[in-house]
Amino acid sequence: MLVWILFLLCQVGAPALAQDLCQRDAPNGYKVRISLKTALGEDAYEWNQSEMFFFQATMAFAMRRHFQMETYNVDNIILCVQTSRVSFWFVVTSPDNTTMLIPKADVEKAVRMSRHRINNAFLLSDRTLEFLGIYPTLAAPVNPDTPPWLIVFGVVIGAVCAGIIALLVSSLLQKRRKEKGMTEDGQDEEDMQVKGVENGINLDGTYNRGFTDDDRFTKL
Amino acid sequence: IIRLSSLPNPGLDDRIPSHQELERMEKEEAGDRPKWDNKTQYMLTCVGFCVGLGNVWRFPYLCQSHGGGAFMIPFLILLVLEGIPLLHLEFAIGQRLRSGSVGVWTAINPYLTGVGIASLLVSFLVGMYYNTIIAWVMWYFFNSFQNPLPWSQCPVNANLTDLVSECARSSPVDYFWYRDTLNTSTSIGDSGGLQWWMVLCLLCAWLLLYVCCLRGIETTGKAVYVTSTLPYVVLTIFLIRGLTLKGSLDGIKFLFTPDLNELMNPSTWLDAGAQVFYSFSLAFGGLISFSSYNSVHNNCEQDAVIISIINGFTSVYAATVIYSIIGFRATERFDDCLEGNILALLNAFSLAEGNITEGNYAESLQNLNGTFPETIQSLDLKTCDLQTFLSQGVEGTGLAFIVFTEAITKMPVSPLWSILFFIMLFCLGLSTMFGSIEGTVVPLQDLNIFPKRWPKEAITGIVCLVSFIIALIFAQSSGNYWLALFDSFAGSIPLLVIAFCEMIAVVYIYGIDRFNKDIEFMIGHKPNLFWQVTWRFVSPLIVLVIFVFYFVTKVSSNVTYIAWNPSSEDFPTLEVLEYPAWIYVIIFILAGVPSLVVPGTAMFKLIRRCCSQFHLNSVNPVNLRMENNSISGHLNLPN
């Protein structure tokens, strides 16, 4: 009889005890806030008891993953203070002794380790599945060897320098061609004089070399 | 009122080519003066010179802060009374006297050379800081080739625990501009050394300018086909993109909503006048140079009107595009603000999501405030007002590098829009620089500062090199403050002085009657009454009024500047600091020297002439005898 009363008390008392362990602002508990509509919009699923069970299972998994020796179970994750916001508090009890709570720091380490898996289980992100008090580790910045802007800069400056050199060289060639062209014109004029083309009229008859302009080559 | 037709100006006919000579030069195509390949090149170059960064980031701000649509009224009135006459004057005088600024004013009267030299100095100083802005644009352009854009998120601090504090307190775009780009110091006195990445961008900007201006209008004439047309293409793309974004129409409505009371405010008219004046790039000497390469019978009157219309239209078009994007950004910010408040309320009262929406926010807030006022107080909710976000001071570099870049990060495919935007700014700036370089190099050639046989490539190269070296001050940590200083003083007062002198010189010293006859010779009909009235009285008066007000305002007010100081109290609001005493010397060099060069050169020439005449008269007898002896010596004449 006594044993039966004790058994009844345990059945009633255990959840009551659990209720005492988990309460708002529990020293070893964390508050979780979930924003389904913000994350998923129209595809948001309904948050019900099954989802809560899934959460317990996920947390148990996270604890197992962190403390590899100990076998946590769904019963070790106690939830309370649920609101329609969807927010609730949870505490983690030790698998060996259900009255003993796992300290806050250990829970935090476990959550941090499996944060990515927890988020993905619920199709949420760090922002929409919040563990109040556990800040997400920021992604390490990707540092490429060469900053991308230097590459573009190199391309542009290479093109510009090539352009400057091309234009300057073509200017120089143009000038040289002009100078060469002027001396060639001078030579043509002298040849025409020797051949006897005076005033544009070709003089017929034999050409008397005695009267050529020998002085052309004997300048003082 | 005594009708002053013109002041006595002896020897004018000897200094300028006559109409017959001009006709002859036109027919024989004599002279080694460069020519435009076709009219399109000339028009595009002038449009490019006039349409610049100011159309994109100064006009929209003025429009919005001076009563929106109502600002169009003073702007258009002053465009017609001030802009078009001055433009026509510069085109006509350049085309008639076929020379750059120094050549033109020296030909009108040797004592007016100072006006040309002042134009040269102003073009040089403005060119230096304008190209630095282009260097900044290039830096942003180089950094646009990555996704996500570097100014879209704050960098993480060394131990990966939190965002960098300076960035977290202001915003990623502010941080990227003030820290990553400028690495700005806290005051103008604190130089902070050269920033190597800025030096590289500055070098790139000056080399690019050099390659385009290498052979004068031969190269710039080709470059303007791209630099003058591309901005319009990009603006249209942005307009189409902008109109499909949420909130763009709010921005456009905000821009153009007229507030006729602003017309009573004199500063509205002053700002409109100043904007018209600076927007046309008058008094730099570049426009005179460009039109001097035209054929003598080119219709400069038509050109002036067309370019003015294009410039005005571009300002309005750019304002529409900019404000459609600003409207989008303001709406995004408003939505974020509201969302933040709603989230805070939901979290505090553990209400289900969707209980409070944008629609019933005001109502719900009132209800909750009635029942739980202390909780509401402790939440410290922000006031979200769309009008405040729309009117957040958006002009100058702040618009381009902070506000617009933020808007771009919120658009899908951000790198593409960033690249397009900065290419557009680059083209706008570069085409203005062509005019600046023209206004610097051609007067240097006219003044014979360099030997005549030096090719144009060498002179342009020297100008670019010297400008680059001096512009290294803008690559320091305090460079931003130096640039603001240059912008306020080098590019404002001297231009007004030069423009006023130009008009007086043409109308009263060259002679308005002679000028009218010249225009009749060039385009076939005399300028009508509108031009007569504006050239003689209206335009000089407007320029004088603007100059007096500017001068009085600048001199009487305490000259201050705004600085970025992470350790100031109001951070991220910029701190207002007073300039140190030695800055006033710099201000005098920037604004005073170009203005004083105008009377200074006249005095110098006067003194030189008086001195040489005096010298000649006093030693004349001795000289004559000596000259006789020397002549007889050379020619072997019998004594």
What would you report as the CA-atom Rg of chain B, rounded to the nearest whole angstrom? Answer: 29
> Are residues B208 and A38, on separate chains, in Cβ contact within 8 Å?
no
> Are residues B207 and A157, on separate chains, in Cβ contact within 8 Å?
yes
Q: pLDDT value at position B1?
A: 37
CA distance B305 to B84: 6
Instruction: Say if A197 falls within a structural domain.
Output: no
> Are residues B142 and A167, on separate chains, in Cβ contact within 8 Å?
no
CA distance A38 to chain B (A): 8
Cβ distance A55 to A79 under 8 Å?
yes
Instruction: Say if A155 falls within a structural domain.
Output: no
Greatest Cα pair distance, chain B, in angstroms, is 125
CA distance A147 to chain B (A): 9
CB contact set of B124 (below 8 Å; sequence gap of 6+): B436, B440, B463, B467
CA distance B321 to chain A (A): 28
Residue of B nearest to A36 (CA): B353
How many Cβ atoms sit within 10 Å of the Cβ of residue A84? 12
Residue of B nearest to A81 (CA): B350
> Are residues B163 and A138, on separate chains, in Cβ contact within 8 Å?
yes
- Chain B residues at the A interface, defined by Cβ less than 8 Å, are 138-139, 141-143, 145-146, 155-156, 160-163, 197, 200-201, 203-204, 207-208, 210-211, 214-215, 219, 343, 346-347, 350-354, 455, 457
Q: pLDDT value at position A212?
A: 54
Which of B149, B208, B222 has the most A C-beta neighbours within 10 Å, making it the best mutation to test the interface with A? B208
Average pLDDT, chain B: 88
CA distance A169 to chain B (A): 11
CA distance B639 to B637: 6
pLDDT more than 70, % of chain B: 95
How many whole angstroms from its chain centre is CA B70? 24
Instruction: Say if A108 falls within a structural domain.
Output: yes
* For residue A147, cis peptide bond before it (omega within 30 degrees of 0): no
Instruction: Say if A171 falls within a structural domain.
Output: no
Residue A196 confidence (pLDDT) above 80: no
> Are residues A160 and B204, on separate chains, in Cβ contact within 8 Å?
yes
Residue ranges of alpha helices (H) inside B216-293 are: 217-227, 230-243, 248-256, 266-279, 286-292
Q: pLDDT value at position B635?
A: 39
Residue B83 confidence (pLDDT) above 50: yes
What is the band of A182 on the pLDDT scale with cuts at 50, 70, 90? Answer: confident
> Are residues B208 and A156, on separate chains, in Cβ contact within 8 Å?
yes
Provide the annotated binding site of B for Na(+): 48, 51, 55, 279, 311, 428
Q: pLDDT value at position A197?
A: 46
The predicted model gives B82-95 an average pLDDT of 94
Please give the tally of structural domains in chain A: 1
pLDDT digits (tens, 9 = 90+) for A98-131: 888 888 888 888 888 888 899 898 888 888 888 8
Q: Which residues of B touch A42 (CB under 8 A)?
A: none
Give the domain range for residue A87: 16-132
Q: pLDDT value at position B524?
A: 92
Instruction: With residue B457 as reference, give the H or E element that holds it.
Output: helix B456-470
Choice between A18 and B402, residue whose per-residue pLDDT is larger: B402
CA distance B52 to B59: 11
CA distance B566 to B575: 10
Q: pLDDT value at position B13?
A: 83
Cβ distance B285 to B119 under 8 Å?
yes
Residue A10 confidence (pLDDT) above 70: no
Instruction: Say if A83 falls within a structural domain.
Output: yes
Among A41-45, B129-133, B289-293, B418-422, name the one with the lowest average pLDDT: A41-45
What is the band of B639 on the pLDDT scale with cuts at 50, 70, 90? Answer: very low
Identity of residue A119: N
CA distance A171 to chain B (A): 9
DSSP letter for B577, please: E
CA distance B510 to B514: 7
Q: Is the ipTM of this complex over 0.95?
A: no
Q: Which residues of A touch B163 (CB under 8 A)?
A: 138
What is the band of A149 on the pLDDT scale with cuts at 50, 70, 90? Answer: very high
Q: pLDDT value at position B440?
A: 94
Instruction: Say if A88 falls within a structural domain.
Output: yes
Residue B267 confidence (pLDDT) above 70: yes
Average pLDDT, chain A: 79
Relative to beta strand A87-92, strand A30-34 is: antiparallel
Q: Which two tokens stand for residue A177?
A: 């061609």
CB contact set of B218 (below 8 Å; sequence gap of 6+): B34
Residue B634 confidence (pLDDT) above 70: no
| Ramachandran angles phi, psi of B241, nearest 5° | -60, -45
Cβ distance B349 to B394 under 8 Å?
no
pLDDT more than 90, % of chain B: 52
> Are residues B455 and A85, on separate chains, in Cβ contact within 8 Å?
no
Instruction: Say if A89 falls within a structural domain.
Output: yes
pTM of the model: 0.84
